[in-house]
C-alpha cells in the first residue's frame, strides 16, 4: 500500500511543477505576419508595455473556427491592438502559409495578427508542442505573456479576460469618435436673401423632434459640430430649411410674369430647372396661367401669401443627410429658390 504522505507529496510536487510552468519566462521570437509586418515579441510588444495573447490554431480546425466570433469580439474589447494588449494567432501546421492564414482571417472576419509557417510560426509554436512549457493542450489553446515576459499557459478561453487583467493591462472604455464639422453651403442664384427669411435645422429623419436650429458662425456661415453638446447624436440626422420670409419681395416682378408666360406658350423654355420650380407658385406640380394670376396678385398687393401653403422659398433638395466624417469638415450643399422669381 502506498504511503498517503507520499501521495500528498507527489500531488504537491505536481502542482508546483504546473505552477512553475505557468510562471516561466516566455522565449523571444521574430515572425512576419500575414500582412507582411515583422514582430519581435520582446522589442515590438513586451518592451513597449504590452501584454501579448497567443492563440494556437490551424486554418481547418473546427473548434478554432467555432470560436472566431467570440475571439474577434474579445480582441476588439481589449482595444484591437491599439492599447495595452496585442492578440496573435499562430498556426501549428507547416502546410498553413501566410496566404492561407489571410484567407482564414478574411473568411471569418478576423483582424488580429495571424502567422503562418512561412512567417516563422514554428518559432512560436514548437516550444509549446515539444513540452518546453508543460503539456501541450492542442488547438485552440491560449498563452498570455505579460510585459515582464512571464508566461501564463495554458489559459482557457473563458479565463482570458482575467488572465490578461492579471498582467496589469486595462480594457479601454468606449471610444468617442472625433466630431464632424458640418458647413452648409447655399446656392442662391444671385438672389440676395435676407438672413431673417430662412431658418435651417437639424433633426432625425422621419421625425419632427428634436429640431435644433443651425446658426451662423463668426464668419457668417451656417456651421455646426456633430455630435456636440448643442446638437447631440440623432438617428439619421438631416438638415431642413424653413421659409419664414414674406411671399412678396422686390425680386418678384412683372418681368417674371413675362418669362413664365413665354414658357407656357412654348416660346422659351425655363432653364435651368430651378426656374420651373420657382414658377409653380400654386404648388400643383404644373406651370399654368393660374400661377401667373397669383404672381400678378402678389405684385399688386391683392394677396400676401401664395396659395396652397406654398412657401416664399424652397430648398433643393428639401432635405440633406448629415454624413459623418469624424475629425473632418463636410460641406452640405442646398440650392435656395425664391418662388415667383425666374430672372
Helices 254-264, 289-300: crossing angle, 10 deg rounding: 170
Question: What would the grid cell of residue 11 be?
Answer: 500531488
Its domain, for residue 301, covers 180-338
Each residue's pLDDT tens digit in the chain (343 positions)? 445 444 444 444 444 344 444 469 999 999 999 999 999 999 999 999 999 999 999 999 999 999 999 999 999 999 999 999 999 999 999 999 999 999 999 999 999 999 999 999 999 999 999 999 999 999 999 999 999 999 999 999 999 999 999 999 999 977 667 899 999 999 998 788 998 999 999 999 999 889 999 999 988 899 999 999 999 999 999 999 999 999 999 999 999 999 999 999 999 999 999 999 999 999 999 999 999 999 999 999 999 999 999 999 999 999 999 999 999 999 999 999 999 999 9
CA-to-CA distance for 160 and 166, rounded, in angstroms? 10
Is 64 in contact with 58 (CB distance < 8 Å)? yes
Q: Are residues 91 and 133 in the same domain?
A: yes
Residue 73's CATH number: 3.40.30.10
Q: Are residues 161 and 197 in the same domain?
A: no
CA-to-CA distance for 60 and 286, rounded, in angstroms? 66
173 within a domain of the structure (yes/no): no
15 within a domain of the structure (yes/no): no
Closest CA to 174 of 77, 84, 83: 77
Q: Are residues 131 and 251 in the same domain?
A: no
Residue entry with cell 446638437:
231
Q: Are residues 156 and 213 in the same domain?
A: no
Domain count, the chain: 2
Q: Are residues 187 and 330 in the same domain?
A: yes
- Domain boundary residue among 101, 134, 165? 165
Q: Are residues 38 and 160 in the same domain?
A: yes
170 within a domain of the structure (yes/no): no
Q: Are residues 140 and 194 in the same domain?
A: no
Q: Are residues 199 and 155 in the same domain?
A: no
Residue 232's CATH number: 1.10.1330.10
6 within a domain of the structure (yes/no): no
Q: Are residues 55 and 202 in the same domain?
A: no
- Domain boundary residue among 100, 132, 165? 165
- Domain boundary residue among 165, 193, 208? 165
Amino acid at each position: 500500500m502506498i504511503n498517503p504522505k507520499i501521495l500528498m507529496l507527489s500531488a504537491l510536487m505536481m502542482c508546483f511543477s504546473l505552477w512553475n510552468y505557468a510562471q516561466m519566462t516566455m522565449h523571444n521570437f521574430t515572425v512576419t505576419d500575414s500582412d507582411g509586418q515583422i514582430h519581435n515579441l520582446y522589442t515590438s510588444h513586451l518592451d513597449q508595455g504590452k501584454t501579448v495573447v497567443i492563440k494556437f490554431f490551424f486554418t481547418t480546425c473546427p473548434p478554432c473556427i467555432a470560436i472566431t466570433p467570440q475571439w474577434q469580439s474579445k480582441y476588439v474589447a481589449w482595444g484591437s491592438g491599439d492599447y495595452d494588449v496585442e492578440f496573435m494567432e499562430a498556426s501549428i501546421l507547416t502546410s498553413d502559409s501566410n496566404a492561407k492564414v489571410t484567407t482564414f482571417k478574411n473568411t471569418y472576419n478576423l483582424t488580429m495578427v495571424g502567422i503562418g509557417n512561412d512567417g516563422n510560426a514554428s518559432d512560436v509554436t514548437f516550444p509549446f508542442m515539444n513540452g518546453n512549457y508543460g503539456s501541450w493542450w492542442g488547438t485552440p489553446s491560449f498563452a498570455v505573456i505579460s510585459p515582464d515576459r512571464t508566461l501564463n499557459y495554458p489559459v482557457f478561453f473563458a479565463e482570458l479576460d482575467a488572465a490578461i487583467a492579471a498582467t496589469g493591462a486595462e480594457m479601454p472604455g468606449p471610444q468617442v469618435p472625433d466630431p464632424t464639422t458640418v458647413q452648409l453651403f447655399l446656392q442662391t442664384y444671385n438672389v440676395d436673401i435676407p438672413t431673417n427669411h430662412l431658418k435651417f435645422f437639424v433633426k432625425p429623419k422621419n421625425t419632427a423632434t428634436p429640431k435644433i436650429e443651425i446658426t451662423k458662425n463668426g464668419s457668417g456661415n451656417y456651421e455646426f459640430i456633430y455630435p456636440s453638446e448643442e446638437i447631440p447624436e440623432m438617428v439619421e440626422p438631416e438638415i431642413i430649411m424653413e421659409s419664414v420670409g414674406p411671399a412678396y419681395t422686390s425680386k418678384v416682378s412683372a418681368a417674371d410674369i413675362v418669362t413664365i408666360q413665354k414658357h407656357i406658350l412654348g416660346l422659351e423654355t425655363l432653364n435651368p430647372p430651378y426656374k420651373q420650380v420657382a414658377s409653380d407658385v400654386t404648388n400643383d406640380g404644373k406651370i399654368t396661367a393660374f400661377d401667373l394670376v397669383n404672381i400678378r396678385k402678389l405684385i399688386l398687393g391683392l394677396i400676401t401669401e401664395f396659395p396652397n401653403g406654398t412657401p416664399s422659398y424652397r430648398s433643393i433638395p428639401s432635405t440633406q443627410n448629415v454624413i459623418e466624417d469624424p475629425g473632418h469638415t463636410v460641406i452640405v450643399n442646398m440650392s435656395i429658390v425664391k418662388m415667383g422669381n425666374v430672372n
